[in-house]
Structure 1
Amino acid sequence: MTVVFVVVLAMLCLAGALTLVRLLRGPDTLDRIAALDVFVILIVAAASVYVAIYRDGSNIPLLAAVALLGFVGSATATRLAERRKGHR
């Protein structure tokens, strides 16, 4: 089972690196917002793998709160970016 965890964590690290590239190079503000949202999701997924490895469910409410905060933050930032883009 540890091989599966290592493979999943490696894939999450690769996805995180690609997301950071999009975050830094993103030609538009909305691309950067989407990259931040994906990065938050990847952090939650990596923390979920940690919960699965150590079989410690005490962090699950924290994971749900971080995921919800990431969603609300990205939705709000997208709305503000679109509103600012419309005023130009």
Structure 2
Amino acid sequence: MAPVKVMDDYKVYNAHPSKVEALIHRLFASARLDLTQIDAKGKDYDPSEWFMVPLEEVQKGIELIVSGDVIYYNYDRQQEKLVPAEN
């Protein structure tokens, strides 16, 4: 596999990191890449943590999680941005 470039880093306080990760995955699920990669040994790998989301939208998503307002937003894949959830 190719090296990864870390684009941003967050510290999690007063919350379970895996729960924060689950919120991020749910928020950006519509932008998850649907692909299979074959490693150097020929083994298939289906990455579940790769998303096509602008960094600015990820940062907004983190802010929404921290504020608790994430429940009022969805990620619109076509617009490539977080939008208010429709009731």
TM-score interval, smaller chain: under 0.3
Select the structure that is richer in helix.
1
Answer 1 or 2: which has greater strand percent: 2
Q: Which of the pair has more CA radius of gyration?
A: 1
**TM-score, normalization by structure 2:** 0.28
Q: TM-score, normalised by structure 1?
A: 0.27
